[in-house]
Structure formats: structure tokens, C-alpha cells
Amino acid sequence: MEACAFDSYLTQIAQLTRAQCVRVLALLKPAVDQGRAAAVIEDAAAPGLCCPRCQSKQFYRHGTKSGLQRFRCQACGRTFNSLTGTPLARLRHKEKWLDFGDCMLDSRTVRKAAARVEVDKNTSLRWRHRFLMATKTDRPACLNGIAEADETFLLESQKGARNLQRPARKRGGKASKRGISTEQVCILVARDRSGNTVDFVTGRGPVTVVQLTEHLRPVLAPDTLLVTDANKAYQAFARQQGISHQYVNVSAGEHVRGAVHVQNVNGYHSRFHKWLRRFNGVATRYLPNYLGWLWAIDRERIHAPETLLRAAIGVFNT
């Protein structure tokens, strides 16, 4: 619309009734919201933008599509935008992404998020995991000072799987064996005293020395003091790797010995279990996503939908 025509159009807005204003707003909201989401995405992607196929930085503008600037690579001729190659590529309805991000920060269930942003519940589930795919990878490179490590367990779940590899269990069922068995999936969590947290789904059954070496070794800074319970696997791991290690004998009633305790990591475990309850059981294959989700929202590490949207395309605040 030309500028002067637009100006005269604007003067008519003042004459709208309240009901008409509401209709105009409803009409404008999707465009405004799509613009907001697109601006967040393009700002986040701009510094590292290159052709996703050949990594060339030589490209030129080539129209817009679905609210995003499109580019054409001078080296390979392919077109791309700021979402190409990210988990959010080709998802529709950008105008709902920031509102959906709000739902994720509020830990809404699939159904509640679907109702809130008015999408199908399958879309809501797909978006949840696409939003988490990159977000979950934003972890501290290493833990420092005193690092507490401990495992927690969840009943293995093949929720949503087409071919069950065992007889079906009632939702939220109980293990048939007592104690830690191969029906339980082990989650190893390590947290230092400044709150940096890493977690690993190590598989079924108790954690092994090999798994501790694979997961914990790379994230422990050289002068870290590892603090655990009396599980022998930690002692063997620390001895083999030359890591300073202290433990509390929790099962013998010893919970704290000066600075030696695992209360921070256990607190994280209980927040995880309590938070997870609302989802009525999650598939084991998605556990890393849920752990990444909790890490994102724990103590409001991510508290704005814009930050979550940036994380969802792999751009993290450093």
C-alpha cells in the first residue's frame, strides 16, 4: 500500500468500534507474531550464517518466504534461510512459536500446549521435541571445584513404540523385580557447587566403571573433587583415573561430612522426578530431551521464549 493511502487508512482506524478493533487485532496478530519470531531467528543466526551445504559465506538475498529472508549461495547455487539445517527447519506456523516457547517454559503438557497455541496435539508433541533437539546440547563443558555425582532410576518405557520388546505394562506400572534391575534405566547426574549440571542416560541397570569413564571423565576439570555415595563403581573409577574422590556412606546413615555430601545432586534428582510426573510417563528414548528441558528451566536458566527459540536453533548465550 502506498504511503498516503496508508495514512488515510490509518485515520479511519480511529473510527472503529471496540468490536471492530478486536477483529482488526485478531487479523494482525499472526503477522506480528510471525515477524517477532522471524526477527529473533534471523538475529540469532546472522553472525554465523553461511551456506548449510558448502559453508560458503558468499551469498546474496533471494526473496523472502514464510516471513524469513531467503539467500542463494554463490558457490553452490542452493537457496537457504536462517532455519535451514536446524531442528526447526520446515516447521510451519512460526507465528505460534514464541507462544509455544512460553508453554515449554511453563512445562505445559502436550495437550495443554496444543490448546493454548491452537495446534493439533501431534504438532504439539513434534514441536516439543524439535525445540529440545538442540536446546538439550547446551551444557557446561566441565565441572569445577566439588562435583557431586549420583544416579537415579526410571522404569524403562517404550511409550509410543510400535513394537514392544516385552509384555505391555500399565502406565506408571511397577517393576516386577525389587531394587535396581535391568527394567530400570539409569540416569547419571553430576553437579558442581556453582550449579553446573550434566546428565547421561547410561542404559539399563546399575552404572558401570566403563560408563563413568566414558561420561564423567571428560567433564571433570583436573583439580575437581568428586563426591559420591559409597557405590564401589565410583571408587574404582576415581582410582583408575587418578581423580580426587570422597564419599558418604548414605546407606549407613552418613549423609553429610563437612563439605562432603550429595545433597545438591539429590535435590536435582527430586526436582526431576517431581517435574516429570505431570507428563504421565515418558519414553526412554526421549529421556535426554526431558533432562535437557529441565536443565533449561531449572532455576530459570532460560526464562524468556526468545532465548528458548535461539537455543532451539543451536544459538546459546555464552
Strand order of the β-sheet with 184-192 is 197-204, 184-192, 146-155, 225-228, 244-247
Positions touching Zn ion (CB under 5 A) are 51, 53-54, 56, 73, 75-76
The residues, ordered by sequence, that sit 6+ positions from 84 with a Cβ below 8 Å of its Cβ are 52
Work out how close the CB of 60 gets to Zn ion at its nearest, in angstroms, rounded to a whole number.
12
DSSP string, 95-134: GGHHHHHHHHHTT--HHHHHHHHT--HHHHHHHHHHHHHH
Sort strands 59-65 and 68-73 into parallel, antiparallel or unpaired: antiparallel
Task: Tell me whether residue 79 or residue 181 sits nearer to Zn ion (CB atom).
Answer: 79
The residues, ordered by sequence, that sit 6+ positions from 234 with a Cβ below 8 Å of its Cβ are 149, 212, 226, 228, 245, 247
Task: Tell me whether residue 80 or residue 237 sits nearer to Zn ion (CB atom).
Answer: 80
Task: Tell me whether residue 35 or residue 48 sits nearer to Zn ion (CB atom).
Answer: 48
Work out how close the CB of 85 gets to Zn ion at its nearest, in angstroms, rounded to a whole number.
11
For the beta carbon of residue 314, count every other beta carbon within 10 angstroms: 18
Contact 41, 311 (CB under 8 A): no
Task: Tell me whether residue 57 or residue 278 sits nearer to Zn ion (CB atom).
Answer: 57
Task: Tell me whether residue 55 or residue 64 sits nearer to Zn ion (CB atom).
Answer: 55
Work out how close the CB of 49 gets to Zn ion at its nearest, in angstroms, rounded to a whole number.
12
Task: Tell me whether residue 34 or residue 84 sits nearer to Zn ion (CB atom).
Answer: 84
Work out how close the CB of 241 gets to Zn ion at its nearest, in angstroms, rounded to a whole number.
44
Instruction: List the grid coordinates of 141.
Output: 563443558
Query: What angle do the packed helices 18-45 and 305-312 form, to 10 degrees?
Result: 40
Contact 25, 33 (CB under 8 A): no
- Selection from 198, 201, 196, 190 nearest residue 226 by Cα: 190
Task: Tell me whether residue 50 or residue 115 sits nearer to Zn ion (CB atom).
Answer: 50
